Amino acid sequence: MTYLIVHLIHIFSVFIYGGFLFTDNLFLNKMKKDLSEAEHSKVREYFMKYVRQVVPKSLIIAVLSGIYLISVNFGEISENGLSNFQIVLSIKAFLGLWLGLRGVLQVFFGIQPLVFKSHKFPFILVVVIIFLSQLMFSV
């Protein structure tokens, strides 16, 4: 039962984080074409006012619940080495931990990333993680 609850919390927190990236990349950035610079800045800041209250916390919850889920699902390493499932899960975990570390450093410590300053790269990583999540059970 604990696993199910943590899994649902993980999915919900990932939806919040991924939804923010989706909205920012596919809607807010496209509004630049229709709004003046001042209007776009005002809309974006209004949106970010609420995002800053929820998204960083959901990212931390996603990472912590993901760590728990990996510890449960990874399994034993056989004599032949990692299984395909374990390899894909490891790649997914690495990408998720990188996103989490990047987010925590940026939001809570004010350390801006040296590269990938926009939300496009994290958005792409979230999409890759989603595909890996579906792929890992069929390899």
Task: Give the Cα separation of 135 and 42 in Å (integer).
Answer: 40
Banded pLDDT at 2 (limits 50, 70, 90): very high
Q: pTM of the prediction? A: 0.84
Residue 114: predicted pLDDT: 63
Residue 115: predicted pLDDT: 64
Residue 24: predicted pLDDT: 87
CA trace torsion 98, 104, 106, 109 (10° rounding) = -140
Kindly provide the b/e burial profile for residues 80-100, where b requires at least 16 CB atoms within 10 angstroms of the residue's own CB: eeebebbebbeebbebbeebb
- Both structure tokens of 34: 């229709």
- Our count of domains for the chain comes to 1
Residue 116: predicted pLDDT: 63
What is the tens place of the pLDDT at every residue in 32-89? 888 888 998 898 888 888 888 899 899 999 999 999 999 999 989 999 999 999 999 9
Q: 129 pLDDT exceeds 80?
A: yes
What is the tens place of the pLDDT at every residue in 85-117? 999 999 999 999 999 988 888 878 888 776 666
- Residue numbers of the domain that contains 41: 2-135
Residue 120: predicted pLDDT: 84
